[in-house]
Amino acid sequence: MDKLLITGGKRLSGEIAISGAKNAALPILCAGLLTSETLQLSNVPHLQDVTTMLKLLRQMGMRTEQDGDRLALDAGAIERLEAPYEMVKTMRASILVLGPLVARFGEARVSLPGGCAIGSRPVDQHIKGLQAMGAEITIEAGYIHAKAKKLKGARIVTDMITVTGTENLLMAATLAEGETILENAAREPEVTDLANLLVAMGAKIDGIGTDRLVVQGVDRLHGASHAVIPDRIETGTFLCAAAAAGGDVTLTRTRSDILDVALDKLREAGVVITTGPDWIRAQMAARPKAVSFRTTEYPGFPTDMQAQFMALNCIAEGSSRVTETIFENRFMHVQELNRLGASIDIDGHTAVITGVDKLIGAPVMATDLRASASLVIAGLAAQGHTLIDRIYHLDRGYDRMEVKLSAVGADIQRTK
d(CA 47, CA 54): 11
236's enclosing H/E stretch is helix 232-245
Q: How far apart are CA 56 and CA 53, in angstroms?
A: 5
Give the DSSP H or E segment for 238.
helix 232-245
Q: How far is CA 221 from the centre of its chain?
A: 26
Count H helices and E strands in the chain, helices first: 14, 24
Q: What is the DSSP string of 155-199?
A: EEE-SS--HHHHHHHHHHHHTSBSEEEEET----HHHHHHHHHHH
DSSP letter, residue 383: B
Q: Which residues are catalytic?
A: 116
Containing 57, the helix (H) or strand (E) segment is: helix 48-60
Cα separation, 69 vs 127, whole angstroms: 33
Closest CA to 95 of 169, 199, 185, 190: 169
CA distance 294 to 314: 17
Q: Count CB-CB contacts under 10 A for residue 124.
A: 12
Q: What are the beta bridge partners of residue 177?
A: 152
